[in-house]
Chain A
Amino acid sequence: MTIKFAGFDMYGLEALYTDEERMIRDTVRAFVDERVLPVIEKHNREATFPAQLVKPLGELGVFGATISGYECAGLNNVAYGLILQELERGDSGVRSFASVQSSLVMYPIHAFGSEAQKSKWLPRLAKGDAIGCFGLTEPDFGSNPGGMTTRAVKKAGRWVLNGTKRWITSGTIADVAVVWAKVEDGTVRGFLVEKGTRGYTAPEIKNKFSLRASVTSDLIFEDCEIPEENLLPKTEGLKNALMCLNQARYGIAWGAVGSMMACYDCALNYSKTRIQFDRPIGGFQLVQAKLAQMVTEIVKGQLLCLQLGRLKDQGKSNHVQVSIAKRNNVSWALEIARSARDILGASGIVDEYPIMRHMANLESVFTYEGTHDIHTLIIGEAVTGLPAYKG
């Protein structure tokens, strides 16, 4: 186990983590250095998902890491956040895979599923023997998922699904999809649809500029019949889907820190060795201003996540705090990626360096799991008491 990324601790934050949290981070850090970084540019270039990493990540215990039992690791939320930070230091696509598997598939099965559903799926998903996806967004309903048109109708003891989900991470490769649909009275409920079910297809969306090492798909349901027991029994409205998103958004806030660290580290090293006007460009004040801003934002991002994780572990966090962390960290990650690209000059645009890949990936991260502006509105509503989503 060799860690190549030196990391940095400008603000004494190491002391705020427990020994176990640090060991967990360092283990995933070494995994990313040894297994992810050597292959990621190739996967990104060829727009292929690094499927060979799924089993090893499962063996490590990354998936559903906060769940106790069902062969999951039973970690706290800070440790889980640090895992996602390291994965996204590798690639947002790999982190997206882990977020979906853990927060959007295992979490709802664990929180809203029957005992039979849990024991059937959670151990397999934890070990990476099965892959999951989460279908909420539709072609015509993104930021406003409550308008969804996918329907589930009960017929002779079975559910019949009709509708289309779009932009679904891991859709094509998933063994099980957590699908949100309206039942006859208009209530949104969650269903498990297994790969190979008649009337269910999941074609991949090709030609993405972003998250190229992650699979994104449509989920199409045409009179797709599933057994009655595939309903997630404890789902009773859109709020259950939003609870999943809250888990995932928390992880994304940490992941964004990892992306910031990767871009900053690359720009810092480059600035020390690139000579212009007879000196390293890191010696120029304008370059230092960029690096100083980056490192300051990284420390702030880490503190936002750490306190949120501690609150979450105490059961005291709320969705507005999650919005603050996701909104701030992802938008700064994007700024840092752009600024880092700038420091590398022309070299910044080739995939010999990871920066442009992070920058392009972050465009998706900025939009999914609640766009930047939707989080602005969530925070705005919290401070004014006035919801601004509609006209």
Chain B
Amino acid sequence: MKIVVCVKRVPDTTTQVKVGPDGTSLDAAGVTFANNPYDEYAVEEALKIKEKTGPGEVIVISVGPAEAAQILRNFLAMGADRAILLKETAPGRDNFGVASALAGEIKGLAPDIVLCGKQAVDDDGAQVGAIVARLLGMPVVNTVTKIELAAGKAVAHREIEGGHEVVEVSLPAAFTAQKGLNEPRFPSLKGIMAAKKKPFEEKPAPAAEPRLTVIKMEPPAKRPAGRILGKGVEAIPALVKALHDEAKVI
């Protein structure tokens, strides 16, 4: 089974991000970057499938700056077999541009399964997985929490509002990973040492016509300062009134 996993380098979820001076992108200064957490579920699932189905290959692929090589190396350390970095020449590529670069490369790999995270936690675009699948002519199942394989087919489970949905697709197919799909493993220390010996391909991402332009990026409005309504039991009526009349939460 050949499995391709699309991964992205994003600001670490614990890092404080700021809007850059251009007002349309994040300021990278002082930001630490990490694996997109949903991609970790996707890679883990790919490794699990490979372990279960016998000989195969897990390829991780990313569109990003040269620094994204580190993210790919993290996934190689986790157990992926090889990595491809499609290097961006300029920042600001839109989701379609990312997806078409990925799909262009993945087509030649002819995988049985394509896995993505359900979204990247930086821009929350949640588009790339579906567009890649469309460009490759594959069915796509979003936000899966379980994948079971049978001959030429896959059954995927999804959490939906108030319930659970089970769908069947024929392979090749694409899936986007939701939290709960699995428990991503830590890379072993041996795996980290082995990662640098694994095949790593770097090439420029093909140019893409922007279809979508970010015109403005703003931090959320500053929250107004808190207010102390009183102390102890006596303050409860005032608190209830404020929650009901002002905050309108009760």
A interface with B by C-beta (< 8 Å) = 1-4, 6, 19-20, 23-24, 27-28, 30-31, 56, 59-62, 65, 73-75, 79, 83
Contacts and interface: CB of A to CB of B under 8 A. Distances in A.
18 contacts: A2-B13, A2-B37, A4-B14, A6-B14, A20-B193, A23-B73, A23-B74, A23-B187, A27-B186, A27-B187, A27-B189, A56-B186, A59-B186, A60-B186, A61-B189, A73-B190, A74-B193, A75-B189
Contacts of A2: 13-14, 37
Given A74-B193, A75-B193, A60 B188 contact: yes
B186 A30 contact: yes
Contacts of A56: 186
B35 interface: yes
Nearest to B40: A1
B174 interface: no
Among B13, B14, B32, the one with the most A-chain Cβ atoms within 10 Å of its Cβ is B14
B47 interface: no
Nearest to A65: B189
A61 B73 contact: no
A18 to B, nearest CB: 10
B186 A1 contact: yes
B177 interface: no
A62 B37 contact: no
Interface string B220-250: 0000000000000000000000000000000
Interface string B1-45: 000000000001110000000000000000010110100100000
A162 B193 CA distance: 44
A20 B196 contact: yes
A79 B193 CA distance: 11
B192 A23 contact: yes
Interface in B165-186: 184, 186
Interface residues of B, number: 23
Nearest to B15: A6
Contacts of B103: none
Interface of B: 12-14, 32, 34-35, 37, 40, 70, 73-74, 77, 184, 186-193, 195-196
B189 A79 contact: yes
Contacts of A60: 186, 188-189
Contacts of B189: 24, 27-28, 60-62, 65, 73, 75, 79, 83
Contacts of A31: 186
Lowest 9 CB-CB distances: which A-B pairs, in order?
A61-B189, A73-B189, A73-B190, A61-B188, A23-B192, A61-B190, A24-B189, A24-B192, A27-B187
A367 to B, nearest CB: 30
Nearest to B191: A61
Contacts of B196: 19-20
A3 B40 contact: no
A31 B187 CA distance: 10
Contacts of B184: 1
A256 B173 CA distance: 51
A6 B74 CA distance: 18
Given A27-B189, A65-B189, A73-B188, 4 more contacts: A1-B186, A3-B14, A4-B14, A61-B188
A3 B13 CA distance: 9
Contacts of B34: 3
A73 B193 CA distance: 8
A86 B187 CA distance: 16
Contacts of A23: 73-74, 77, 187, 192, 195
A79 to B, nearest CB: 7
A83 to B, nearest CB: 7
A23 B32 CA distance: 14
B187 A59 contact: no
A19 B193 CA distance: 10
